[in-house]
Structure 1
Amino acid sequence: MEWMAELEAVGAAACAMLLGGVIGYERELKNRPAGFRTHMLVAGAAALLMALSQLALANPPPHDPAIRIQVDPLRLVEAVINGVAFIGAGTIFARRRGLPVAGITTAASLLMVAVIGVVTGLRHYVLAVSATLLTLVVLTALNAVERRLGLHEKDDGRS
Structure 2
Amino acid sequence: MELSDYLAAALREEFADFGQTQQMLSAALRLMMAALLGGLLGFEREAKGKAAGLRTHMLVTLGATLFVMPLQLDGAEHDALSRVVQGIAAGIGFLCAGTILKGDRSSQIKGLTTSASLWFSTAVGITVGLGYEGTALLGVLFALIVLHTLPLIEPSDKKTPPH
Write the distance in 2 (CA, Å) between the matches of 1:136 and 1:76. Answer: 27
- 1:1-159 superposed matches below 5 A: 2-57=20-75, 72-97=80-105, 100-146=108-154, 149-150=155-156, 152-154=158-160, 156=161
Question: Number of paired residues?
Answer: 144
Write the distance in 2 (CA, Å) between the matches of 1:70 and 1:121. Answer: 14
Q: Is the 8 A contact 1:116 1:128 kept in 2?
A: yes
3-state SS, counterpart of residue 110 of structure 2: coil
Write the distance in 2 (CA, Å) between the matches of 1:112 and 1:121. Answer: 14
Q: Is the 8 A contact 1:20 1:43 kept in 2?
A: yes
* TM-score of the pair, normalised by structure 2: 0.79
User: What is the aligned partner in structure 2 of residue 61 from structure 1?
Assistant: none
3-state SS, counterpart of residue 57 of structure 1: coil
TM-superposition CA deviations, 1:129-151 (whole Å, max 9, x none): 100011001111111111xx425
1:71 CA drift (Å):
6.3
- Structure 1 residues 120, 98: closer, same or farther in 2, change over 3 A? closer
Write the distance in 2 (CA, Å) between the matches of 1:20 and 1:97. Answer: 33
Write the distance in 2 (CA, Å) between the matches of 1:52 and 1:95. Answer: 42
3-state SS, counterpart of residue 75 of structure 2: helix
1:4 CA drift (Å):
2.7
Structure 1: gaps (5+ residues)? 59-68
Corresponding letter in the other structure for 1:153: K
Corresponding letter in the other structure for 1:103: G
Structure 2: gaps (5+ residues)? 1-18
- Bigger helix fraction: 2
Write the distance in 2 (CA, Å) between the matches of 1:45 and 1:142. Answer: 29
Which structure has the larger Rg? 2
Corresponding letter in the other structure for 1:141: T
Percent of pairs identical after alignment? 35
User: What is the aligned partner in structure 2 of residue 64 from structure 1?
Assistant: none
- Structure 1 residues 101, 71: closer, same or farther in 2, change over 3 A? same
